[in-house]
Amino acid sequence: MERTFICENVTSNESGHLCFASQDVINLTAKYGTPLYLMDEERIRQRCHTFKDAIHTCFGDNAYIAYASKAASFKEIYRIMKSEGMYVDVVSCGEIYTASQAGFPLRNSLFHSNNKTDDDIKYAMDNDVGYFVVDNEEELFAIQKEAKKRNITQKILLRITPGIDSHTFAAVATGKVDSKFGSAIKTGQAEQITKTALNQKNIKLSGYHCHIGSQIFSTEVFLRAAKIMIDFIADIKNTVGYETNILDMGGGFGVRYLPTDPVIDIKSTIISIGETIKELCKTVGVKLPTIIFEPGRSIVADAGMTVYTVGTVKRIPEFVNYVSVDGGMTDNVRYAMYKSNYTLVTANKIDETCNIKASIVGRCCESGDIIQENVPMPSTVCRGDTIACLTTGAYNYSMASNYNRIPRPPIVMLKGGKSRIVVRRETLSDICNLDE
């Protein structure tokens, strides 16, 4: 039976099995075991190309795409980003270390975080991180102090809060005035920190950054952010006399988790934001800065899938069916954390009619350990079946934990009909690695 799933890399075959990147998922679980993260390398590269093509259409060479690596951070992903000529965002010494171990050129990176410790600052400078994205004045002074000690000039962007409610879930909204991130335009703090930055001898202010949230489906929200930022850049030019070289518009492009979610056409979205930026710059009389976008989720989300084996199936008549899997909140905390939606399918029974609904739950000792509720399932679902959770490439592995001392699943990368382990399965002895 021909079926269409939420992304074109998900299909099925004549055995009634789910396929990912044209490979039979049941064969892959036989080879690698479950729970298992699968990733589709071609899809990751295709998404990089889509973003790069779009910015080059608008801005020629005067623009970059920085992959926000917190979405999925492991050595192979930095190797892929390096080979694609992408920049990356890093947010911790751990991400800097991983990128550096993978041979990623860290001069092409931007270092975020709302609280960089003195050790973080030193470590980032040791590794020649290209840009610090500075959140607040206190951090600015700490960077100045360290740069002076080293007798270097550190390039920075300032993180500005444009004062926009992106109408996304509160935990992923970052653009409002009262956000924990950045300096707000409305309160005057954005102008203040600009003046302070310009006065630091060992800091070169390269421009501004904003990131208004995540899972944003409305182009209009990005256009409003662009207008606020460019008006701000013009105000600063007029009042302070500083003209920005770089404008980083952040990430946050929405991803389809359910068939009912809208499809975002990245190319036309970026072009529409880009054309607006060009026009606005002309109107307010500032030079067109180098433009950066920082997609994370939209680069890797639908390039990933998690596969589980079904254990206990529990039916509580008139209430709910529970289908337990051999993973859970330890490999996918997003439903527990944000009530995130996912599409799940019974990978070995893809042609069977789904005539019951079930809660797919994990194996942790927490009632909240739920992958998803109200999932359509065939009534034959039983121990030993294989369940796939689609679109788990972003913020799943990177948020994984060892709660209940459960080892984390491996990541198997798929490409051209071949598969390879890029992160091995954690073992029980790994679990005790740090214990004395």
Ligand X SMILES: *Cc1c(COP(=O)(O)O)cnc(C)c1O
- What's the CA gap between 385 and 186, in Å, rounded? 55
Least distance to ligand X from the beta carbon of 294, Å?
A: 4
Q: Which listed residue (100, 200, 214, 419) binds ligand X by CB under 6 A?
A: 214
Both tokens of residue 377?
Answer: 């399932």
Least distance to ligand X from the beta carbon of 353, Å?
A: 35
Sorted by sequence, the CB contacts under 8 Å of residue 264 that are 6+ apart come out as: 217, 253, 254, 255, 256, 298
Which residues, in sequence order, are bridge partners of residue 213? 173
∠ CA 157-161-166 to the nearest 5 degrees?
125
Decide if residue 116 touches ligand X (CB under 6 A).
no
Q: Which listed residue (252, 328, 362, 409) binds ligand X by CB under 6 A?
A: 252
Q: How many residues bind ligand X (CB under 6 A)?
A: 16
- What's the CA gap between 301 and 305, in Å, rounded? 8
- What's the CA gap between 429 and 378, in Å, rounded? 38
Q: Which is nearer to ligand X, 206 or 298 (CB)?
A: 298
Q: Which is nearer to ligand X, 229 or 345 (CB)?
A: 229
Residues 51-80 that bind ligand X (CB under 6 A): 68, 70-71
Sorted by sequence, the CB contacts under 8 Å of residue 95 that are 6+ apart come out as: 69, 70, 73
Residues 287-306 that bind ligand X (CB under 6 A): 294-298
Q: Which is nearer to ligand X, 12 or 183 (CB)?
A: 183
Sorted by sequence, the CB contacts under 8 Å of residue 114 that are 6+ apart come out as: 135, 136, 180, 181, 182
Among residues 365, 382, 389, 432, the one annotated as catalytic is: 365
Nearest to 200 by CA among 253, 158, 143: 143
Q: Which listed residue (163, 182, 207, 251) binds ligand X by CB under 6 A?
A: 251
Q: Which is nearer to ligand X, 26 or 158 (CB)?
A: 158
Decide if residue 95 touches ligand X (CB under 6 A).
no
Least distance to ligand X from the beta carbon of 207, Å?
A: 14
Q: Taking the chain, what is the end-to-end CA distance rounded to the nearest angstrom?
A: 55
Q: Which is nearer to ligand X, 25 or 71 (CB)?
A: 71
Least distance to ligand X from the beta carbon of 179, Å?
A: 11
Q: Is 365 a catalytic residue?
A: yes
Residues found near ligand X in the complex (CB under 6 A): 68, 70-71, 89, 112, 211, 214, 250-253, 294-298
Tell me the catalytic residues.
Answer: 365
